[in-house]
Structure 1
Amino acid sequence: MNWRTASLQAALYDYTVQHPLLSRLGARALWSYDIGHLHRSIAAQDPTALTLDIPCGGGLAAGTNPRHVAADLSHTMLKRARHRTKTLLQADIYALPFPPSTFDLCVTYNGLHCLEDPAAALRELTRVLRPGGTLQGTTLVRGTSRRHDAQITALQRLGVFGSPGTATDLHTWLTSAGLTDITLTRSGAVTGFTARK
């Protein structure tokens, strides 16, 4: 699926994520995931940090931060994020239009598993992160259960997912990008991560 042009699927996904009951039930039923982890991660962000959020989806991670930059490949998602944040940018996560060491914080929630090359995306996010800055996010990973792996494979065949790895792969990608102080938090088929440059 081309997330840039799949407006109906993008809108449906965002609608579900933006509604607490639907997102909680969906995350638990599909991925055995406590979505409260995602909300706690977002709430813990520094509200004054210059933050890049990609893919931003509907802007859930914007909070009240006036220095939040929401970027996404999907025009539909950017339109939906407009009511949550002021700075919007259509951008490719593999080729970000920012100089090195721009952001205090880069966040990427629920997007890496949709990419063909998550490691390259993490390297690009690290490039635009200032020294001492933080990268955090969540992603679906393989290897948590047969059921979850089968769902991931089915979504890959449908073109919704790219090449999600295991939690070990995620750690390797973060390390290879030059990040340290890596923390992985697992909940069902989802792994949350935090790392520093």
Structure 2
Amino acid sequence: MDWRDAGLIGVLYDVGIEHRWLGLIGGRAVWGADLRRHYRDIATLGSSAGRGARVLDVPCGGGVAFRGIPRDGSWRYVAVDLAPVMLRRARAVAERYELANLALTQASVTALPFPGATFDLCLSYFGLHCFPDPAAALADMARVLRPGGLLRGTSVVRGGGRRQDAAIAVLRRFGVFGEVGTAADLASWLEAAGLREIAVDRDGAVAYFTARR
């Protein structure tokens, strides 16, 4: 599936992540994971970078991370997604939260339209497994991070169990998912991107990752 043309599938995918109770049910039922950690991670975003931080959110989806960012405009926040439907949903969320200093940009994650060393923090929540080339995506995220900048996110990975791997295979067959690696693959992609202080922690078929430029 070309995510630029994401319609109903894209909206359903986003709704499942955006609504906490649906995310928790789906996380346990489909991925064998407790997604409370994911929502806690978003809730504590405000303490992950100081005032004036330049933050990139890719893919932003429908703006699930927006609930955790400062609403006083102290961050310069850029939300990127390939799908127009996701950007429209994200814009509605930004308006609802009255977020300042937030820009929405349509772009590919492997060709981010920003100079190198632009951002202090890069977020990538539940999008990596949808990309045809996650290693290339991480390499471009690393490129736009300043030295010392932090990357943090979540991704579905293989190796969480037979049922979870079967679900991944089905979603790949229908084009919803792209290349999906294991937690070890994810760590190797982060290292190949030139990142350091890499941490990858798997819960079921969900991996939480952080790395520094």
- What TM bracket, shorter-length normalisation? over 0.9
**Does residue 59 of structure 1 match 2:59?**
no
2-side partners of 1:31 and 1:78: how far apart?
26
SS of 1:58's equivalent in the other structure is coil
Q: Which of residues 96, 100, 104 is equivalent to 2:116? A: 100
Query: Structure 1 residues 59-68 or 19-28, which shifts more?
Result: 59-68
Alignment of 1:31-46 (within 5 A): 31-45=31-45, 46=48
Q: Which of residues 166, 172, 191 is equivalent to 2:207? A: 191
2-side partners of 1:110 and 1:58: how far apart?
12
2-side partners of 1:68 and 1:19: how far apart?
22
Query: Structure 1 residues 177-186 or 35-44, which shifts more?
Result: 35-44
Q: C-alpha root-mean-square deviation of aligned residues, in Å?
A: 1.2
Q: Which of residues 156, 180, 183 is equivalent to 1:164? A: 180
Alignment of 1:83-162 (within 5 A): 83-85=92-94, 86-162=102-178
**Does residue 77 of structure 1 match 2:86?**
yes
- Could you tell me which amino acid in structure 2 is paired with residue 79 of structure 1? R
1:16, distance to aligned residue in structure 2 (A): 2.2
SS of 1:33's equivalent in the other structure is coil
TM-score, L = length of structure 1: 0.95
Number of aligned residues: 197
SS of 2:150's equivalent in the other structure is strand
1:60, distance to aligned residue in structure 2 (A): 1.1
SS of 2:211's equivalent in the other structure is strand
TM-score, L = length of structure 2: 0.88
Consecutive aligned runs of 4 or more in structure 1 exceeding 3 Å deviation: none
SS of 2:39's equivalent in the other structure is helix
Unaligned runs of 5+ in 2: 95-101
The answer to whether the Cα contact below 8 Å between 2:31 and 2:205 also exists between their aligned partners in 1 is yes
Q: What per-residue deviation string (whole Å, max 9, x for no partner) do you get for residues 13-47 of structure 1? A: 22222222111111110001111111122223236
Q: Which has a greater percent of helix? A: 2
1-side partners of 2:77 and 2:37: how far apart?
21
Check 1:144–1:16 CA distance in 2 against 1; reply closer, same or farther (3 A cut): closer
- Could you tell me which amino acid in structure 1 is paired with residue 145 of structure 2? L
SS of 2:112's equivalent in the other structure is coil
- Could you tell me which amino acid in structure 1 is paired with residue 2 of structure 2? N
1-side partners of 2:2 and 2:120: how far apart?
30
Query: Structure 1 residues 51-60 or 11-20, which shifts more?
Result: 11-20
Aligned residue in 1 for 2:99: none
